[in-house]
Amino acid sequence: MGRVRYLEIAEALRAAILSGDYPVGAQLPSESDLAARWSASRGTVRQAVATLASEGLIGSRQGARRIVLRQERRHSFGELNSFAQWAEGVGHEVHSRFLSRTRRPATAEEAERLALAPGTEILAVLRLRLLDGEPTMVERTAYADWVAAAVEAMEPDCRSVMDGLAAGSAIVAHYGEHLIDALAAGSEDARLLGIRRGSPLLRQRHVSATNTGRPIEWSDDRYLAGSVTFSVSNSAVATPLERHAGDR
């Protein structure tokens, strides 16, 4: 059993919401109610409902009961950071093809994103990702020098590099930063994905870091338009997503 009380309570409430016991718009029990029912303190209950609020499942306003906002599962950290973890989580089959793996000095941006000295040698990887057999995403990743050897040692068609790093080297991603925009397919993108040059692509650039904040990889992932959608909930008290101006 989960030895952490507030996670137990959060999980039970989450399950009740997802199963429809509390439909969208319904009120949750009051804090004191929940505290009594779980024989926990009010603080612990508040930690539980705060967890659900951060997932966008419930909303709250002073003076009124909490209400259910959505009735959908929220993805985990790994499912946003790893293509393979996400695909399997939503029940798709994923394949990978390493097209090239070369060591070269980092570009200025790569050095910046990976917190490396300019010109440090990184491992540049080009991969084509297939979802249920169809080409879906082109991934260009720069791995920091200190993980390069571990990545090079992996199978040429391994399912998930991040999973491999975690299993083989105990290198685990804890933090991620993601930049999402759209762009036209270049000639290489077009050839690999089997589309015309200039076709719309959804791009997700992201850096993953360890629990000490040390960057592991900086990646540029380009999805076929229509193949994926990103989703985010926000509220007046906490906003996780932002919007940046591009170059004009």
Partner DNA sequence: CAGTGGTCTAGACCACCAC
Partner DNA sequence: TGGTGGTCTAGACCACTGA
Q: Which is nearer to DNA, 33 or 93 (CB)?
A: 33
Token pair of 12 as six digits: 């039970």
- Compute the distance between CA of residue 106 and CA of residue 129 in angstroms, rounded to an integer: 24
109 binding a second copy? (CB under 8 A): no
Q: Please count the residues of this chain forming the interface with DNA, following the rule CB under 7 A.
A: 26
Residue 187 contacts a second copy per CB under 8 A: no
Which residues ranging from 198 to 217 are in contact with DNA (CB under 7 A)?
212
3-state secondary structure of 195: coil
Cβ atoms < 10 Å from Cβ of 227: 14
DSSP state letter for 199: -
Q: Please measure the distance between the N-terminal and C-terminal CA atoms of the chain and give it in whole angstroms.
A: 54
244 binds, among a second copy, DNA, none (CB under 5 to 8 A by kind): a second copy
Q: Which residues, numbered 194-213, are part of the site for a second copy (CB under 8 A)?
A: 198-203, 209, 211-213
User: Of 241, 235, 246, 239, which is closest to residue 57 (Cα–Cα)?
Assistant: 235
| Partners of residue 206 on adjacent β-strands | 178, 219
Nearer to a second copy, 90 or 153 (CB): 90
Q: Is 22 in the site for DNA (CB under 7 A)?
A: no
Q: Give 43's Cβ-side CA count (13 Å radius).
A: 0
Residues 32-61, interacting with DNA (CB under 7 A): 32-33, 39-44, 46-47, 60-61
* Size of interface with a second copy, in residues (CB under 8 A): 74
For residue 136, the SS3 value is strand
Could you tell me the sign of the dihedral formed by the alpha carbons of 78, 84, 89, 90, in that order? positive
d(CA 143, CA 111): 10
Question: Does 15 interact with a second copy (rule: CB under 8 A)?
Answer: no
**Of 31-39, 105-113, 158-166, 221-229: span binding a second copy (CB under 8 A):** 221-229
- Residue 198 C-beta: closest distance to a second copy, Å: 7
Least Å distance, CB 143 to a second copy, is 20
Please report, as residue ranges, which positions from 137 to 176 form the binding site for a second copy (by CB under 8 A). 172-176
* Cα distances (angstroms) measured from residue 39 to each of 8, 13, 29: 12, 15, 14
Binding status of residue 77 toward a second copy by CB under 8 A: yes
Applying CB under 7 A, does 218 fall inside the site for DNA? Answer: no
Kindly tell me which of 101 and 174 has the beta carbon lying closer to a second copy: 174
- Which listed residue (12, 16, 18, 80) binds a second copy by CB under 8 A? 80
Q: Indicate which of a second copy, DNA, none lies near residue 179 (CB less than 5 to 8 Å, by partner kind).
A: a second copy
At a CB cut-off of 8 Å and minimum separation 6, what does 106 contact? 114, 116, 118, 119, 120, 121, 122, 142
Residues that bind DNA (CB under 7 A): 3-7, 28, 30-33, 39-44, 46-47, 60-66, 212
